[in-house]
Amino acid sequence: MRAAIIDQPGSIRVGDVPDPNAGDRQLVLKVGATGICGTDLHIADGHFPPTPYPIVPGHEFAGEVVEIGADTPGDWTIGDRVAVDPSLFCGYCTPCRSGHGNLCANWNATGDTVDGAFAEYVAVPASTCYRMPDEMTWQQGALVEPVSCAVHGVRQIGVEAGERFLVVGAGTMGLLMQQLLQRGGAHVTVVDRNEARLGRATRLGAVRVGTDVAELDERFDAAVDCTGAASAIEAAFDSLRRGGRLLVFGVAPAEARVSLSPFRIYNDEIKIIGSMAVLNSYGAALGLVASGAIDTDALLTDTLPLDEFPAALDLMRSGAGLKVQVLPGGVDA
Ligand SMILES: [Zn+2]
Ligand SMILES: [Zn+2]
């Protein structure tokens, strides 16, 4: 089959690899759509430590069941359309056994540490597959994974009706976060240094948009950083009212540090909260996308065939588009 292969950091090609076979309790899918996210850029550059090389990346995907492995529980049928939670938690370590599989000590994920879905076919544990309603498109299915990360993030920070939230970063994750918070009853202000991204936030219901948190001159009940930039995290922190909450959702380099006022954390009882990937949130996210509660179509700007994977990666890197997807099954899939 055709697949995008990263032989080693910086070396990206589309070539032929053996078709995957369904192992025990696995399904093989014919891939319909696969999204590119920042992690794929890190994997391509060698900046995602868990990744072994060579690897076929691709962890945001949906496809059609074409093979069912031995001893697979559930009533799977050839032709079932599924979206896939890439998480591969070990189930044995202390975090897994205490309900925190996303913090697994032996963390793995389809497309991050084992071959993923920038390929015509992919083998995945049946336990990570979720049936899609007939009317849901492959493109929507491939956006369930980022939505499921946002669902976990919203659960981490919590939202109450009428709260004033600040979302920093109007990329795919920021706009998903915005929509989820609005569904929870929040009034959401969205800030992005890239003014071109703010129109979409307004159309999706932001009460206010801006290019600089400091210029807003407003105090928020809670803030979500979706950039991972130290300056953005600091500005979001400084914008909180007393008793406010800050969710650190964007991915910063491991060595990055921020400068926050410990006096304010103490005196104003500021809560700083983290959120890592997906935790029991994939099924909920699929429901939100399927019902139209979360608009993913508004975020998808580019779809390319598999053979143009290197160009798709460059497009993502340039920041010209928002969500870029590859359609390994052909554009009409
Ligand atoms: Zn991702
Ligand atoms: Zn584990």
Question: Which residue type occupies 212?
Answer: D
Neighbours of 64 (CB within 10 A): 19
Query: Quick check: 333 pLDDT over 50?
Result: no
Neighbours of 19 (CB within 10 A): 14
Across the range 286-315, mean pLDDT stands at 97
pLDDT of amino acid 321: 85
Q: Where does the pLDDT of residue 330 fall: very low under 50, low under 70, confident under 90, or very high at 90 and above?
A: confident
pLDDT of amino acid 217: 93
Question: How does the average pLDDT of the chain come out, rounded?
Answer: 96
Nearest ligand atom owner, CA of 94:
2
Distance 61 CA to ligand 1 centre (A): 10
Distance 156 CA to ligand 2 centre (A): 20
Q: Where does the pLDDT of residue 247 fall: very low under 50, low under 70, confident under 90, or very high at 90 and above?
A: very high
Query: Quick check: 187 pLDDT over 60?
Result: yes
Domains, the chain, with CATH or none: 2-131+299-327 (3.90.180.10), 150-274 (3.40.50.720)
Sorted by sequence, the CB contacts under 8 Å of residue 98 that are 6+ apart come out as: none
Query: Quick check: 61 pLDDT over 50?
Result: yes
pLDDT of amino acid 332: 53
Distance 110 CA to ligand 2 centre (A): 15
Query: Quick check: 57 pLDDT over 60?
Result: yes
Cβ < 5 A residues, ion ligand 2? 90, 93, 96, 104
Distance 199 CA to ligand 2 centre (A): 41
Query: Quick check: 310 pLDDT over 80?
Result: yes
- pLDDT, one tens digit per residue, over 99-156 is 999 999 999 999 999 999 999 999 999 999 999 999 999 999 999 999 999 999 999 9
Rg of the Cα trace of the chain? 20
Nearest ligand atom owner, CA of 88:
2
Query: Quick check: 170 pLDDT over 50?
Result: yes
High-pLDDT (> 70) share of the chain, % = 99
Across the range 280-285, mean pLDDT stands at 97
Distance 37 CA to ligand 2 centre (A): 24
pLDDT of amino acid 271: 98
Q: Give which of 55, 76, 79 is closest to 127, Cα–Cα.
A: 76
Rounded to whole angstroms, the Cα distance separating 77 from 69 reads: 11
Distance 89 CA to ligand 2 centre (A): 5
Nearest ligand atom owner, CA of 144:
1
pLDDT of amino acid 329: 85
Give the pTM. Answer: 0.96
Nearest ligand atom owner, CA of 37:
1
Distance 236 CA to ligand 1 centre (A): 23
Distance 109 CA to ligand 2 centre (A): 12
